[in-house]
Amino acid sequence: MTRPEIQPFTDEHLADAGRLLATRHRRHRAAQPDLSPAFEDAATAKERVEAALAADDASGAVALRGDTVVGFLLGAPKQSKTWGPNLWVESAGQALADDEPAETVRDLYAAAATRWVDEGRTAQYVVVPATDVALLDAWYRLGFGHQQAHALRAPLATDPRIAVGLVVRRAVRDDIPTLARLDVALPQHQGLSPTFSAGEQGSVEEAQEEWEEDFDDPEFTTFVAEHDGRVIGSAVACDLTKSGSNEGLMRPEKAGFLGFAAVLPEARGLGAGRALGETVLAWARDTGYPVVATDWRATNLLSSRTWTALGFVPTFQRLHRTIGY
C-alpha cells in the first residue's frame, strides 16, 4: 500500500477525526465492553477531539488518501513540571481507519513531532488502547516504551481473602500518623529502582496536615490493614471521576476507583496489598459499581504484579519517549 499524504491538523478535520475516533472506540469496546459506549457516537467523539485541539499549544497531523482522512494524531503539553518539557497524546488524540495499517501512525508522528521537538517538547507521552497490538508495536518502533497501565475489572463477587494475622478495617482518626507515613512511602518507593519516578516527595508532616483536614471527606473511603495490632498498609477508594488521569475514553460510565494503596516497606510480603485491594473490590460491589479501575507504573514491580494478579486487565497503556539521548 502506498503511503498516505500527511498534512497539519486543522479545524476542518474535526468531523473526520471524530468519525475515526468513534470507529476506533467501537473496535476497542468489542474487546473491552466495560468502556463507555458514548464515544462510539461520532458527534460525542468529535467533542473529545475538539477539546484536545482547544488545549494550549495543541498541534498534530492528518493522513489522507485522496480526499479521505484515514488517520490523525493530536497532542498538547501539560503545565506540570513533573512531566518535563512534555507533549501528550491523550486517549482521544489518535485514530486510524479500519483498513489503514498501523504503520501510518509512524508517518503521522514523523510530521507532528517535528514541530513538537522544535518547540522543545522532548518528553513525550502517548496513550494507546491496550488491545490494539499493531498500534502499540508501531509506537514501540518509534522509540516509545511502556510507562503506565490503566486497567479495569469487575467488583469482587466473594468475601475478601485476608491472610492469617491480618485485619482490614475502615480507617479512624487515630490512624492519621500512619496514614501520613504511607502517603510518603509510595512516592519514595516509586523513586527507587527500577521505577525512578521524578514525582514530588512531600514530607510526613505535610501529609499529616492534609489528612487532618480531609479525613472526613465523604467522597473518599479509606481502609487500613493491621498486622499484630499495628497498621502496616492503607488503600483509598472513590468514584473514578475523582481521578484526573483516567478521563475521556478511558472512563466507563460508572466505575469505582482504587486510587491509592501502599504498605510500609518493612511489612511487605505479608499479603496486605492483596487484602486491601480485594477489600476495595468488595466495597465497589457493595456501593453499586459495576466495574473498578486502577492504574500503575509498569516498572513498579510490586503494584504491577499485585494488581494483575488481582485480575485487573489493562485497557490503555501510556507510553513514553525522551528525545535527544
Residues 202 and 126 in one domain: no
In a domain, 60, yes or no: yes
> pLDDT value at position 199?
75
State the DSSP H helix or E strand holding residue 224, giving kind and residue range, or none if neither: strand 220-227
The H-or-E segment that residue 210 falls in is helix 204-214
156 occurs within a structural domain: no
Same domain? For 299 and 230 the reply is yes
Q: What is the pLDDT of residue 156?
A: 97
What are the cell numbers at 154?
469487575
What pLDDT is stored for residue 1 in this prediction? Answer: 78
Q: What are phi and psi of 131, to 5 degrees?
A: -85, -10
Rounded CA-CA distance 18/117 in Å is 26
Q: Within a domain: residue 84? A: yes
Give the full edge-to-edge strand order of the sheet including 313-322.
86-89, 123-129, 313-322, 145-153, 292-297, 256-263, 230-239, 220-227, 166-170
Considering the domain architecture, whether residues 54 and 100 belong to the same structural domain is answered as: yes
Are 136 and 173 found together in one domain?
Answer: no
Q: Residue 151: inside a domain, yes or no?
A: no
Q: Are residues 177 and 292 in the same domain?
A: yes
Q: Is residue 31 part of a domain?
A: yes
The model's pTM: 0.96
Could you list the pLDDT tens digit for every one of the 325 residues in the chain? 799 999 999 999 999 999 999 999 999 999 999 999 999 999 999 999 999 999 999 999 999 999 999 999 999 999 988 899 999 999 999 999 999 999 999 999 999 999 999 999 999 999 999 999 999 999 999 999 999 999 999 999 999 999 999 999 999 999 999 999 999 999 999 999 999 987 777 899 999 999 999 999 999 999 999 999 999 999 999 999 999 999 999 999 999 999 999 999 999 999 999 999 999 999 999 999 999 999 999 999 999 999 999 999 999 999 999 999 8
What pLDDT sits at residue 59? 98
Same domain, 177 and 138: no
Please give the residue range of the domain that contains residue 28: 5-143
Whether residue 182 is found in the same domain as residue 308: yes
Spatial separation of the C-alpha atoms in residues 209 and 207, rounded to whole Å: 5
Instruction: Supply the pLDDT for residue 219.
Output: 97
Does 159 reside within a domain?
A: no
Do 101 and 215 reside in the same domain of the chain? no
DSSP-assigned beta bridge partners for residue 292: 153, 256
The pLDDT assigned to 202 comes to 86
Is residue 171 domain-shared with residue 309, that is, in the same domain? yes
Domain count, the chain: 2
Q: How far apart are CA 224 and CA 279, in angstroms?
A: 10
Do 139 and 170 lie in one domain? The reply is no
Same domain, 234 and 305: yes
Both 212 and 248 in a single domain?
A: yes
**Residue 25 covered by a domain:** yes
Query: Is residue 148, in this structure, part of any structural domain at all?
Result: no
What is the pLDDT at residue 80? 85
CATH number for the domain spanning 212: value is: 3.40.630.30
Residue with cell 467501537: 26
Eight-state DSSP code of residue 269: T
